[in-house]
């Protein structure tokens, strides 16, 4: 793969000159809390856990047993976070975000303000110090994954006594949003098809989450438009380019390896749930295309055969280098990997919407109760916030409630409290929806128009690249070629 290396160029501050509180477009209505969870979700969790009810109790026990759920967790903020280069320290950020999110959840479920204080202090410590993301092109991965996760933790803590939301928004805009938005627009100087779908999807997740956090309709529209019709591999018709007879949707990453395929599955669920809670139905977009894709990935990773249409991946950078590879079968690499990604998809399609999703249902049952916060290692185990058995399990809807479209809930919890019994219903409540994207969806069934995966992890294996590829460095030493299959993290 090609790499435009921030590490080789020295420290780079991502984003400059952005300010918090960007005004949303006139007439937009945002639900708060309204990312992965609404107040109705918190009310349900609290009631079910207090009653000791089945899956919710098992899910909460999984959360409480994770070491990053402790109210004694102390933040370790950094001014500069590095991923994929010398001095790599991104795990410090990842663990602190997990601790903030998990403590925020425990507060919402139990009302124990010691957990709220811990979450608030972590968020405040980072917004007071962090200014820069650095490293190889993996810095865009860090921006996307940790951007959407950070925003979700902050959304839960919105209004809590002592939480500096304005300063936190500024950090999110300057450091995380700016990198993710730039990546979607420019793809780090590569061809639009160079990067696999997970790169785009994590960037979309960040842009969407920051848009919601900042009540910024333009950013929400940016994310939704890209998901529907973006030029890269992460737009839904490029990420799931082929629909096979019977309704299975072939995901491009399944031809690559299953770690990245499941990363894409989880990111799709995250994006769709955040959009749903703002009145936007991406789950159902293009005749439930996401459902068809995640059913395909689930079926393969459960050990069943799936149909596969050969396709050619084109990669490289304009005027620098290009190549292609034809994929002819689903990959066996990392097949059956466990990630905490299935509950949100299962509970939406089966319990909220009343649809059939047999393979997603089987995967959810296999992983249940979902953990998080590093329970599955520091690679894929930190790509997702997890604990979906607690947060997403819901009774199965019937009749009209199973076919309702999403709308924006209007009320939020009291600023200093935990769950509120008077909170609004989850998606399906009243109020106008946030404006939807205006771009028309891509119409081509082919996943690519021409090119694919720039940038990669680390710089430790630069030696030997020239022997493998015949190319050592281009563009002043900043562009390097790496062999496919050499990976250090799943999230690339």
374-394 pLDDT tens trace? 999 887 889 999 999 999 999
Compare 470 and 284 and report the one with higher pLDDT: 284
Q: Which of 260, 155, 179, 171 is nearest to 487 (CA)?
A: 260
Q: What is the pLDDT of residue 413?
A: 39
For residues 166 and 410, which has the higher predicted lDDT (pLDDT)?
166
- In the predicted model, what is the mean pLDDT of residues 338-365? 97
pLDDT on residue 440: 30
Is 31's pLDDT higher than 50? yes
pLDDT, residue 403, reads 73
pLDDT attached to residue 402: 81
Q: Find, among 98, 127, 85, 120, the residue nearest to 455 by Cα.
A: 85
In this prediction, residue 167 has a pLDDT band, given cuts at 50, 70 and 90, of very high
Q: How confident is the model at residue 199 (pLDDT cuts 50, 70, 90)?
A: very high
Dihedral sign for Cα 67, 149, 334, 482, please: negative
pLDDT score at 481: 29
**What integer pLDDT is reported at residue 473 of this predicted model?**
29
Res 409: pLDDT: 59
pLDDT single digits (tens) 456-491: 222 222 222 223 333 222 222 223 323 333 333 334
Average pLDDT in the 211-239 region? Answer: 98
pLDDT band, very low/low/confident/very high, at 135 (cuts 50, 70, 90): very high
Q: Apex CA 462: angle with CA 460 and CA 466, to 5°?
A: 160
Does 355 score more than 70 pLDDT? yes
Average pLDDT, the chain: 82
pLDDT confidence of residue 480: 30
> Residue 358: is its pLDDT beyond 60?
yes
The pLDDT > 90 percentage for the chain reads: 74
| pLDDT the model gives residue 98 | 98
The whole-angstrom separation of Cα 387 and Cα 395 is 17
Q: Is the pLDDT of residue 298 over 50?
A: yes
pLDDT exceeds 50 at position 154: yes
Task: Name which residue leads in pLDDT, 444 or 216.
Answer: 216
pLDDT of residue 463: 28
pLDDT at 20 over 50: no
Which pLDDT score is estimated for 378? Answer: 83
Query: Which one has a higher pLDDT value, 309 or 449?
Result: 309
Contact indicator for 68, 92 with CB cutoff of 8 Å: no
Q: Which of 19-28, 88-97, 225-234, 469-478 has the lowest mean pLDDT?
A: 469-478
pLDDT for the residue 379:
79
pLDDT above 60: residue 259? yes
Instruction: Identify the band that residue 239 occupies on the pLDDT scale cut at 50, 70 and 90.
Output: very high
Distance, CA of 327 to CA of 234 (rounded, Å): 18
Q: Is 0.95 topped by the overall pTM?
A: no
Residue 223 has pLDDT above 70, yes or no: yes
Radius of gyration of the chain (CA): 21
For 443-457, write each residue's pLDDT tens digit: 223 323 332 223 222
Residue 283 is predicted with a pLDDT of: 98
pLDDT > 70? residue 300: yes
More confident site: 482 or 304: 304
């Amino acid at each position: 793969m090609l790499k435009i290396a921030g590490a080789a160029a020295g420290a780079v501050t991502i984003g400059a000159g952005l300010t918090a509180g960007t005004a949303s477009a006139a007439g937009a209505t945002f639900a708060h809390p309204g990312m992965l969870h609404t107040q109705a979700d918190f009310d349900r969790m609290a009631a079910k856990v207090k009653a000791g009810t089945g899956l919710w109790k098992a899910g909460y026990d999984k959360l409480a047993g994770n070491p990053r759920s402790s109210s004694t967790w102390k933040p370790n903020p950094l001014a500069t976070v590095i991923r994929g280069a010398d001095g790599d320290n991104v795990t410090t950020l990842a663990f602190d975000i997990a601790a903030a999110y998990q403590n925020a959840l425990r507060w919402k479920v139990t009302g124990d303000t010691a957990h709220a204080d811990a979450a608030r202090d972590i968020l405040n410590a980072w917004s007071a110090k962090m200014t820069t993301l650095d490293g190889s092109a993996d810095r865009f991965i860090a921006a996307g994954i940790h951007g959407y996760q950070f925003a979700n933790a902050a959304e839960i803590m919105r209004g809590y006594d002592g939480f500096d939301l304005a300063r936190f928004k500024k950090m999110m805009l300057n450091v995380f949003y700016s990198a993710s938005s730039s990546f979607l627009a420019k793809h780090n100087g590569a061809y639009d098809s160079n990067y696999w779908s997970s790169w785009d999807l994590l960037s979309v997740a960040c842009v969407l989450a920051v848009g919601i956090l900042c009540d910024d309709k333009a950013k929400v529209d940016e994310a939704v438009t890209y998901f529907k019709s973006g030029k890269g591999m992460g737009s839904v018709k490029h990420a799931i380019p082929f629909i096979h007879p019977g309704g299975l949707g072939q995901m491009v990453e399944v031809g690559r390896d299953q770690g990245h395929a499941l990363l894409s599955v989880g990111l799709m669920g995250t994006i769709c749930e955040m959009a749903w809670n703002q009145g936007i139905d991406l789950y159902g977009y293009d005749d439930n295309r996401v459902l068809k894709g995640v059913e395909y990935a689930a079926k393969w990773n459960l050990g069943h055969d799936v149909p596969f249409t050969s396709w050619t991946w084109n990669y490289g950078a304009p005027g620098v280098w290009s190549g292609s590879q034809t994929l002819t079968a689903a990959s066996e690499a990392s097949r059956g990997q466990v990630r905490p990604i299935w509950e949100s998809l299962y509970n939406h399609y089966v319990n909220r919407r009343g649809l059939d999703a047999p393979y997603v249902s089987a995967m959810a049952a296999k992983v249940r109760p979902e953990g998080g916060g590093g329970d599955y290692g520091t690679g894929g185990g930190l790509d997702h916030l997890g604990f979906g058995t607690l947060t997403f399990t819901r009774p199965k809807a019937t009749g009209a409630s199973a076919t309702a479209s999403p709308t924006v809930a209007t009320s939020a919890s009291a600023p200093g409290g935990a769950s509120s019994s008077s909170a609004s219903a989850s998606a399906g409540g009243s109020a106008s929806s946030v404006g939807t994207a205006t771009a028309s969806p891509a119409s081509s069934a082919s996943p690519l128009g021409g090119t694919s995966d720039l940038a990669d992890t680390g710089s430790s294996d630069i030696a030997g690249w020239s022997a493998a590829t015949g190319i050592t460095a281009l563009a002043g030493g900043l562009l390097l070629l790496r062999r496919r299959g050499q990976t250090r993290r799943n999230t690339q």
